[in-house]
Chains A and B, each alone.
Chain A
Amino acid sequence: MLSELDITIIKVLQDDLPLVEKPFKLIADKLGITEKKLLDKIEEYIAMGIIRRFGATINHLEAGFAANAMVVWDVDDKRTKEAGRLMAQFAEVSHCYQRLRNADWQYNLFTMVHGKTREQCRQIVEKIARVVNVDKYKLLFTIEELKKSSIKYFT
């Protein structure tokens, strides 16, 4: 589905956008295409969902959101869709996934919850538990970030 040109563009867009007046022109020149072509392609990728978001990734720890927890929920299989959608609506929830449970791990919904303090995280989670009506859950507070990076696709 992706052409060779697409893959070349996507490779370059994984790097940091240059901090010059015309950053897209600079990239386009390097690729040997026009600035307009590049901008059109980016819009196309956004429309197709290939690019989820274009912009800055903020370090939330440096930005003052000091506490966060991965919350794992054991939700009845028949209710996962409804529960996942409800949890996703909370602003304090940045990620919400359904994952395949197994013999060693009974929990099937996963949310990342952010707050200024651990106590605030706990309060948010209690609120979610009430609203979604789930009582089997666990908070796994983050102790330390060991790695955070972006994957380089097509390398």
Chain B
Amino acid sequence: MSLPGKKGCVKQVDNIDRQLLNNIQENFPIGSRPYLKLAQKLGISEKEVISKINYFKKKGIIRRLGGIFDSKKLGYDSTLCAIKVPKSRINEVAEIINSIPGVTHNYLREHRYNMWFTLIAPCNEAINQILVKIKCDTGIEDIINLPTVKLFKINVYFDLNEV
């Protein structure tokens, strides 16, 4: 995966590409011909829109195109956890944690608690069970569980004009 400091590749894309990427993040048209609508907005053809999106997906610039759901509204509980992993065991422990379907994000961060992952499960009881299993499988007891009290913002919109 990309490391901080790596040059991004959007620098090589043109203004139309930036506009397209900005538009499909926030204003994706919900209608019969969404790519045509985007095409009309940008002054290019529907075919071009589709092939550009295809290209961005292949390049890994677009991870996914679709609905992003609110886990709480679907009845799921979520939390953020951190675990202290010795440097020599990072890959091995990451593999154990990443294999859990409810783990959606996992990051290595600069701290004595160095591995941070988010966990989504149908209920808090299931979250606790998963954490017990992680402790058991890794042999690491040092895990903190930080359940969400309040969500103030979740807006993963990146203005490509700022790059």
Q: Does B144 contact A (CB under 8 A)?
A: yes
> Per a CB cutoff under 8 Å, which of B6, B62, B73, B117 touches A48?
B73
Q: Is B59's CB under 8 angstroms from A62's CB?
A: yes
Minimum CB–CB distance from B16 to chain A (whole Å) comes to 15
B67 with A13: CB separation less than 8 A: yes
Q: From residue 13 to 40 of chain B, which have CB atoms closer than 8 A to chain A? A: 21, 24-28, 30-36
Interface residues of B in 124-163 (CB under 8 A from A): 144-160, 163
Interface residues of A in 50-106 (CB under 8 A from B): 50-68, 70, 80-81, 84-85, 87-88, 91, 93-102, 104-105
B111-133 vs A: 1/0 string, CB under 8 Å? 10011110010000000000000
Given contacts A62-B2, A64-B11, A100-B149, contact A56 B25 (CB under 8 A): yes
Q: A residues within 8 A CB of B88?
A: none
Please determine whether B70 and A68 come into contact, CB atoms closer than 8 angstroms: no
A76 CB, min distance to chain B CBs, angstroms: 15
Contact assessment for B103 and A56 in the assembled complex, using a CB-CB cutoff below 8 Å = no
A147 within 8 A of B: yes
Q: Does A39 contact B (CB under 8 A)?
A: yes
**Are A54 and B108 in contact, with the CB atoms below 8 A?**
no
Interface size on B, as a range, is: 35 or more
* Chain A residue at smallest Cβ distance from B53: A19
* Pair A142/B108 contact, Cβ less than 8 Å: yes
Residue numbers in A under 8 Å from B82 (CB-CB) = 105
Asked if B109 CB lies within 8 Å of chain A CBs, one says yes
Partner of B153, one of A10, A46, A49, A96: A96
Say yes or no: A149-B104 contact (C-beta < 8 A), given A64-B11, A94-B155, A99-B80: yes
A-B contact pairs, 13 of them (CB 8 A): A35-B32, A52-B70, A55-B24, A56-B62, A64-B8, A66-B2, A66-B8, A70-B116, A94-B154, A96-B152, A104-B144, A143-B4, A154-B74
**With A58-B156, A61-B3, A145-B2 already in contact, 14 other A-B pairs whose C-beta atoms are closer than 8 Å:** A20-B50, A39-B30, A52-B154, A54-B68, A56-B25, A57-B68, A58-B63, A62-B10, A64-B163, A94-B154, A141-B110, A146-B98, A147-B94, A149-B104
A contacts, CB < 8 Å to B: 2, 10, 13-17, 19-25, 35, 39, 42-43, 45-46, 48-68, 70, 80-81, 84-85, 87-88, 91, 93-102, 104-105, 108, 110, 114, 116, 118, 138, 140-155
**Lowest 7 CB-CB distances: which A-B pairs, in order?**
A64-B8, A88-B153, A55-B28, A64-B163, A61-B2, A147-B106, A96-B152
